[in-house]
Chain A
Amino acid sequence: MNTTSDHSSIGVLGIWITLIVLAALSIAAAYLPIGSWTWIITYPIAAMMALLIMASYMRLRSSTVIVRIFAGAGFFWLLLWFAVTLTDYLTRPHLYLT
């Protein structure tokens, strides 16, 4: 069992603190007066938190390349799909009635 990169309990605590700080940061970002554009800050912060958890707690840093590819596949497919769907919604001219 590859226990080499097994971080000690301090490591777990360190990551926990980073996550709490990032969460606080995104809460603060919500108070910026930029209306609905806060997502430009809150989602990248959420992505960073997710990457941190996947790398450390889910031990992706210490696993084989195949496992990392599998881990990224779901997110990559989702973003690819979002991008292609948005080509429709960002360019749709006709009128919507609420």
Chain B
Amino acid sequence: MMPAMVVEAYPTPGGGAGLFPELITRASSIAGRIDGLLIALTILCVAVSAGIYLVMIYFAARYRRGSTADRSNANAQSHTLEIAWTAITLVFFLVIFFWASNLYTTMQTGAPPEDVLEIYVMGKQWMWKAEHPGGQREINELHVPRGQDIKLLLTSQDVIHSFFVPAFRLKQDAVPGAYTSLWFKPTVTGEYALFCAEYCGTDHSRMRGRVVVMAPEAYERWLHTRESSTSMATRGAKLFRQYGCSGCHVGNSTVHAPVLDGLYGKPVQLQDGTTKVADERYIHDSIVLPQQDIVAGYPRIMPSFKGQISEAELLHLVMYIKSLDYTEGTVP
């Protein structure tokens, strides 16, 4: 029998017995609008249900067998009535649809990229690993500053997980083999429950954690108190040398290899005539499968690093190459 201690292992937000005060706080900018739509829909549905229940009960009572109600010329069809209630239902549904879709598009587009704090979240069988741009790492916890637009870039190492924070009214699946993103802006400080919402195996129900929303200054202090972890980009630079990438891809090297400064986001002319934008995927694939997209005018000599560099280190290399700015002297 599983010992019951497991529940205590996680600090439970909401402190247990209270009737879920923390759980339904509207802790993200979008939560209020989602609750608004939810309440409006609830009112509509309660009204419709009450209406139909009352009509049914009234008919059942008035026209019950043995009652002396008048039952003559009950017509079995009326086109106007049918078309009327079909049209009204359709109009209500369309109103709800447009309201919800409008809200959904704001949730999906999020804030413009420059002032967004991008945090990488990796789902792994039965834990969440988060990594801030400064290199701070957390397991089953996510500290975020209040009032800051945050974009989580989610992926998974094994099966599909789903990053779900009820207090933010948001969830997004972490799909292995793909980056998915989740945008939100926390507005109320506090600790909120974090669940995995997509079934992922034995300890799916223990893949829980907490999201801690802090005041911006407290968040800065928290970042510095973490051990002097180098940022992802600097750690990427170390790997760039460690795996010998610098041997070829630095401007003054004897080997004829594409220079990577200012590469991120620019279109790259490939040998087979097509052009590709150098996004995260292109950089990731070029390291793991170099034979795939050969840059025009370069020999096919790069070895594949598949299996030698782990997914996490690839993330750091991608971050390092993204951070290389376009500096004059190294025009390819």
Which residues of A does B touch, CB under 8 Å? 94-98
Is there an interface contact between A97 and B178, defined as CB atoms closer than 8 Å? yes
Is there an interface contact between A94 and B285, defined as CB atoms closer than 8 Å? no
CA distance A96 to B177 in the complex (A): 6
CA distance A41 to B85 in the complex (A): 48
A-B CB contact pairs (8 Å), 24 listed:
A94-B178, A94-B179, A94-B180, A94-B181, A95-B178, A95-B179, A95-B279, A95-B280, A95-B281, A96-B177, A96-B178, A96-B281, A97-B155, A97-B177, A97-B178, A97-B179, A97-B281, A97-B284, A97-B285, A97-B288, A98-B285, A98-B288, A98-B289, A98-B292
Determine the chain A residues whose CB is within 8 A of the CB of B281 once the complex forms. 95-97
CA distance A94 to B288 in the complex (A): 19
CA distance A95 to B292 in the complex (A): 16
CA distance A66 to B285 in the complex (A): 53
Query: What 9 A-B pairs are tightest by C-beta distance, nearest first?
Result: A95-B281, A95-B179, A96-B178, A97-B284, A94-B179, A94-B180, A98-B285, A95-B280, A97-B177
Determine the chain B residues whose CB is within 8 A of the CB of A94 once the complex forms. 178-181
Determine the chain B residues whose CB is within 8 A of the CB of A98 once the complex forms. 285, 288-289, 292
CA distance A98 to B292 in the complex (A): 10
Chain B CB count within 10 A is highest, among A94, A96, A97, A98, for A97
What sequence of 0s and 1s flags, for each residue 208-233 of chain B, a beta carbon within 8 Å of any chain A beta carbon?
00000000000000000000000000
What sequence of 0s and 1s flags, for each residue 251-294 of chain B, a beta carbon within 8 Å of any chain A beta carbon?
00000000000000000000000000001110011001100100
Given contacts A95-B179, A95-B280, A97-B285, 15 further A-B contacts (CB under 8 A): A94-B178, A94-B181, A95-B178, A95-B279, A96-B177, A96-B178, A96-B281, A97-B155, A97-B177, A97-B178, A97-B179, A97-B281, A98-B288, A98-B289, A98-B292
* Shortest distance between the CB of B125 and any CB in chain A (Å): 19
Determine the chain A residues whose CB is within 8 A of the CB of B179 once the complex forms. 94-95, 97
Determine the chain A residues whose CB is within 8 A of the CB of B180 once the complex forms. 94
Q: Which A residue's beta carbon lies closest to that of B272?
A: A35
Q: Which A residue's beta carbon lies closest to that of B178?
A: A96
CA distance A97 to B179 in the complex (A): 8
Determine the chain B residues whose CB is within 8 A of the CB of A96 once the complex forms. 177-178, 281
* Shortest distance between the CB of B316 and any CB in chain A (Å): 15
CA distance A59 to B285 in the complex (A): 52
CA distance A94 to B177 in the complex (A): 11
CA distance A41 to B279 in the complex (A): 33
Q: Which A residue's beta carbon lies closest to that of B314?
A: A97
Q: Which B residue's beta carbon lies closest to that of A93?
A: B181
Determine the chain A residues whose CB is within 8 A of the CB of B155 once the complex forms. 97
Q: Which A residue's beta carbon lies closest to that of B284?
A: A97
Determine the chain A residues whose CB is within 8 A of the CB of B292 once the complex forms. 98
CA distance A6 to B325 in the complex (A): 76
* Shortest distance between the CB of B302 and any CB in chain A (Å): 15
CA distance A96 to B279 in the complex (A): 11
Q: Which B residue's beta carbon lies closest to that of A92?
A: B178
What sequence of 0s and 1s flags, for each residue 129-161 of chain B, a beta carbon within 8 Å of any chain A beta carbon?
000000000000000000000000001000000
Determine the chain B residues whose CB is within 8 A of the CB of A95 once the complex forms. 178-179, 279-281
* Shortest distance between the CB of B82 and any CB in chain A (Å): 27
